[in-house]
Amino acid sequence: MRMFVLLGSNIQPRAHLARAVAELREAFEVVAESPVYRTAPVGDPDQDDFWNLAVEIDSELRPPEVQARLRAIERQLGRRRDPARPSGPRTADLDLVLVPGVEGRFDRLELPSPLLLREAFVAVPLADLAPQLPHPVTGVPLRSIAAETVASATRPPRRVAGGLAP
């Protein structure tokens, strides 16, 4: 089953995201990777910018099982969740954000992610991978959603030169 994962980091992002992609390749069949973007922090502005990218994977696992594996990768990369700062700095953030044709709540996981319709840091890298793919609820192509979120962003995402290459 085709699935899209969003990755983010603002603590040594080049190193942590490169390791996260390598771990994803060990756990799943990685079909494609988006370019890497530098994005403004959302919800907690007193921190460094994030680096974000999206990865398309193929898996027969159910979405909650995929999300559990993503959480395990986060822990391997030193992610510590701070309840006082849920949107604070992190080594790695991996979230299943979209599974074509799937909508609904699976425990704490909501698909598609509500962030897809309102945040450029989610919509832009996803649109790089599947511009024509319709949002499972609205039917709007990801390319159009990305354009809308960029138009409303105070600081739109900017491509990181060289991506994850050292």
Is 93 one of the annotated active-site residues of the chain? yes
Contact status, residue 127 vs residue 148, Cβ threshold 8 Å: no
Q: Is 90 a known active-site residue?
A: yes
Selecting among 62, 79, 85, 155, the annotated active-site residue is 79
From 95, 105, 128, 159, the catalytic residue: 95
What is the Cα–Cα distance from 2 to 120, expressed in whole angstroms? 22
Angle between helices 63-76 and 13-27 (to 10 degrees): 140
Name the helix (H) or strand (E) containing 162.
Answer: none
Cα 54 to Cα 75: distance, rounded to the nearest angstrom: 19
CA distance 53 to 17: 9
Q: Please, are residues 89 and 10 in contact by the beta-carbon 8 Å criterion?
A: yes
Q: Which of 19, 38, 69, 90 is catalytic?
A: 90
**Residue 38 designated active-site:** no
Q: Which of 19, 38, 93, 128 is catalytic?
A: 93
Annotated catalytic residues are 79, 90, 93, 95
